[in-house]
Amino acid sequence: MRIVAGVWRGRALLGPTWDGLRPTSDRLRETLFNVLAPRLAGARVIDLCAGTGAVGLEALSRGAAHVTFVDDDSRAVALIGANLRKCGVAEGYTIERRDARTAGAPASGVFDIVFLDPPYAQRSLDVWLEAAARSMASDGVVVLEHARRVAAPGQGSGLICTRRLPQGDSALAFYQRTVPEPRS
């Protein structure tokens, strides 16, 4: 596992030492960030179910202004911290240990890009999409990584799927608001 592009391109990342954590592959992250490239410079990103932190680190490496990493597993939180240190990241991030499904929008606000990678064993992704929608800026995007064998919702929580990209056993579903929220 490595950073694919940006200022830390090629930097190796630490992986999990326990079962049950499936990091997003380098190839899938490359596909994801090729799609997100126009939105990334200066973006506020949240990586829900962050695991190793690879997606959020890739976003920082490619120019995101700030990444909030969220995971409810203390081992994952420690691994994210270790990978941030390994890349020499001193600022521009927050780590929150919490369950992404049940909490409201994080204390740090709303985000331009919401990346969500719930456990692949999940059969229903609706509750996860609802959680992601609470963290999304009105003109933002939610990206849901899921097992290809499990259909991602076409819409829900005021979001509509605008693009699907299958790759191997995984797939990415991109969501935007069905009706943009008015700006204050």
Rounded distance, CA 50 to CA 184, Å?
A: 30
Q: Which residue spans within 6-65 are E strands per DSSP?
A: 44-48
Nearest to 21 by CA among 129, 149, 120, 132: 120
Helix (H) or strand (E) holding 114, with range, is: strand 111-116
Domain that holds residue 128: 27-177
Q: Does the residue 8 lie in any domain?
A: no
Q: Is the pLDDT of residue 14 over 80?
A: yes
Sort strands 159-167 and 111-116 into parallel, antiparallel or unpaired.
unpaired
User: Which range, of 53-62, 102-111, 126-135, 143-152, averages the lowest pLDDT?
Assistant: 102-111
Longest dimension (CA), the chain: 46
Segment holding 69, helix H or strand E = strand 66-71
The structural domain count of the chain equals 1
Summarised one tens digit per residue, pLDDT across range 24-65 is 788 898 999 999 999 999 999 999 999 999 999 999 999 999
Instruction: Identify whether 10 is part of a domain.
Output: no
Looking at the domain assignment, is residue 70 inside a domain? yes
CATH number (domain holding residue 129):
3.40.50.150
Q: Is residue 34 part of a domain?
A: yes
Q: What is the mean pLDDT of the chain?
A: 88
Q: Determine contact, residues 125/152, Cβ cutoff 8 Å.
A: yes
With bands split at pLDDT 50, 70 and 90, how would you rate the model's confidence at 93? very high
In a domain, 96, yes or no: yes
Residue 128, pLDDT score: 84
Any idea which residue has 């509750």 for tokens? 127
Is 143 a domain residue?
Answer: yes
Judge whether residue 180 has pLDDT over 60.
no
- pLDDT for 152 beyond 70: yes
User: Which position has the token pair 């719930």?
Assistant: 118
Residue 80 has what pLDDT?
97
Q: Is 183 within a domain?
A: no
Write down the pLDDT at residue 108. Answer: 60
Encoded amino acid at 8, one letter: W
Look at residues 126, 106, 107 and name the one whose alpha carbon lies nearest to residue 48.
Answer: 106
Instruction: Please give the model's pTM, rounded to 2 decimal places.
Output: 0.89
Q: Which residue has better confidence, 124 or 171?
A: 171
Residue 164 lies in a domain: yes
